[in-house]
Chains A and B, each alone.
Chain A
Amino acid sequence: MTENEKDIELLQSDPGALILKYQETVKIIVKKYILAGMFKPSDFDDIVQEVTSTLLVKMPAIQTQYNGKSLFRTYFSVIVRNICVKEHGKFKKEIPVEQKDTDALTDRGHGEENIFIEEETRRFRNILSLYYRQRPKLLLCLKLHYRIPITHEDVRLWYPECSSQDRDTLLGQFGINFDGMDDVEIFRTLTPVMNRNEGKLNSVDAIRKWTDSKIHEIIELLNGNPQRRNHNEETLKILVDDFFSPFLLEK
């Protein structure tokens, strides 16, 4: 019997024992939220108690709603997280979002800051993973927005059936340094190519606005809810640079 199957069995036969089995998970999540500033360290025991009580109250609903499609341990973590977020309202604490956190992205070289950068990079990559179908278009627009030259390989990945003419247009305009181009020029060149390859009729302004909205969405997701960081377009550029240059040497 797999661990997941054991969990499912316990869920039906002995939910109390299942909650005990996952006590470490509860404690780890509460500790993470204390480190994030959502709760005071002195509230740790109370929060754990409250989460455990709430889990027991919610057990009948969990038994009904869990349909075994996800791993129970993942599902359990999601529920515990939601309980903690609700508890945050009761044990309300202002989270000190310090600018120095995101300053670390522009000042590399220290041990702790490298860990911070890794964490933010990982978060950024996870966010990009959520744009499943839109990802090729998003990556193209991110490169153009941040004036990162595109490559032959980029075009092949984004638009595998791109005509040679469109490919030459893109590489000709954006394959070299194009810092001097403004956003309007960029999207005026990009839009017809994009429309041909996607079979759409978007306006120049629509593509530009779409790009802006996605960038702001990514920044909000990086900052988190509740807010954990103070990212902006400047720090996002560093993450985008890193993403497209995996072999970038650290200073």
Chain B
Amino acid sequence: MLGSGMMPTHSFLGDDAHLSEEAIALYIDALQANKVHLLPGVIVEHVEECKKCKSEIIEALSLVEEPLHRPAEPHPYLDTIVAPASVRFSFYYRIAAIFLVGISIGVIFYFFRSVHNGETVLSDSKVSMQTARRDTSKGSISDDERIKRRELFADNFSESPNLENLVNAVSRSESPFVVSPKNNDVVSQDILFRWKMHDAGLITITILSNSENVVRSVSLEQSTFLFSEKLDPGLYYWKLERKGDLLYVGKFFVK
């Protein structure tokens, strides 16, 4: 028996009378969860008769078939529809399961309390900590080396005098409104640079290290740029230019 379909029909069909993108996604979810019988009838009946929508589902399904490395979680729609006869049944099972888990926890707790005494646990902890302390001291670097590494790392975060003066200092009528990253944002992998310009045209985006080395420079028409290369932790600057005119300089940190 097909699901009752709480949503109105029009939300599953687009203006072209075919399945909307979300309806296609819902069908794919149902196929993967083996719950096609829970889909609204309007979706299933349409797909049965529509080659175009079948094609859309099959092509998209081939893209999402890779198992995602996520723990299973309830589906926002398919797991909210339960056949009426099974509601009471599953409720009693849940109550029984809660009792069982509670009893099991109690038994385990009582068992460990009676087998282990407090002193033994404490002395075991002391031995573990002493062992751990000995292990970490083995192979440790010299203090000089440690200081040197810290200094090198800190250098990556020091400001560039030239570029720092330009941050927020550029002011032109055609200066862009920067959406991301904002100044001093801390970013990780995959940085999405976004800005809004009053007029279109070729813009050059340049990403520089704090020692003013160019990491990447690209000219593009659109007002977004996705940077996916790995950057070492540190302070970086980025600038936008058009026809040699500097429009914006910003800065961000990589953790």
Contacts and interface: CB of A to CB of B under 8 A. Distances in A.
Contact of A133 (B20, B44, B62, B65): B44
Size bin of chain B's contact surface: 35 or more
Contacts of B214: none
A123 B226 contact: no
A16 interface: yes
A77 B225 CA distance: 21
A79 B21 contact: yes
A28 B194 CA distance: 23
Contact of B60 (A16, A77, A123, A129): A77
A129 B51 contact: no
Contact of B63 (A32, A49, A67, A69): A32
B26 interface: yes
Per DSSP, chain A at the interface is helix
A134 interface: yes
Given A65-B21, A69-B26, A69-B77, A123 B62 contact: yes
A56 B194 contact: yes
B29 A70 contact: yes
Interface residues of A, number: 47
A71 to B, nearest CB: 5
A48 B192 CA distance: 12
Given A70-B77, A225-B59, A126 B31 contact: yes
B100 interface: no
Interface in A158-176: none
A48 B220 CA distance: 14
Interface string B161-203: 0000000000000000001100000000010101000000000
B58 interface: yes
B129 interface: no
A127 B54 contact: yes
